[in-house]
């Protein structure tokens, strides 16, 4: 005589112990006779490389923000100081001003800072500017 289970006496999973044993034996037989489908690892690899890419892009953006700020403040004193410099070499007097170099530092600093800020915002053109600024 096979015992019957009413809804009130079923275990929390909703299956009788006999049904669980039958499922286990079916699963064991299937594993021995059928090969399980191969797991697609390309999605897992893409997920990991995507996280790396986002992390390195974030790092590059922060470095660009810092470098742009430093470049700007390097050029600022050269623009504000209008005193010409000079030195003598081989009986020649060389006279020059750092104002032009200061303007170059200011502009490059602003471009690199703007590229870093827009790289954080996800703009694609900032990647190109950042790559070209490094090269």
DSSP for 75-109, please give it.
HHHHHH----EEEEETTEEEEE-SHHHHHHHHHHH
Beta-bridge mates of residue 87: 94
Amino acid 128: pLDDT:
82
Spell out, as residue ranges, where the chain has pLDDT lower than 70: 1-48, 87, 133-135
Is the torsion defined by CA of 77, 83, 84, 89 positive or negative?
Answer: negative
List, for residues 58-86, the tens digit of each pLDDT value: 998 999 999 999 999 999 988 888 777 77
Residue 37 has what pLDDT?
A: 62
State residue 70's pLDDT score.
95
């Amino acid at each position: 005589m096979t015992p019957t289970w009413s809804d009130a006496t079923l275990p929390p999973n909703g299956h009788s112990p006999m049904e669980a044993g039958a499922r286990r034996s079916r699963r064991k037989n299937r594993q021995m006779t059928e090969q399980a489908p191969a797991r697609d690892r390309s999605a897992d690899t893409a997920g990991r490389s995507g996280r790396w890419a986002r992390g390195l892009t974030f790092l590059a953006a922060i470095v660009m923000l810092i470098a742009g700020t430093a470049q700007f403040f390097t050029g600022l004193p050269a623009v504000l100081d209008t005193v010409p410099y000079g030195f003598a070499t081989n009986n020649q007097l060389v006279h020059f001003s750092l104002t032009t170099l200061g303007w170059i530092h200011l502009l490059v600093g602003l471009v690199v800072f703007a590229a870093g800020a827009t790289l954080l915002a996800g703009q694609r053109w900032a990647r190109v500017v950042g790559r070209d600024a490094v090269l």
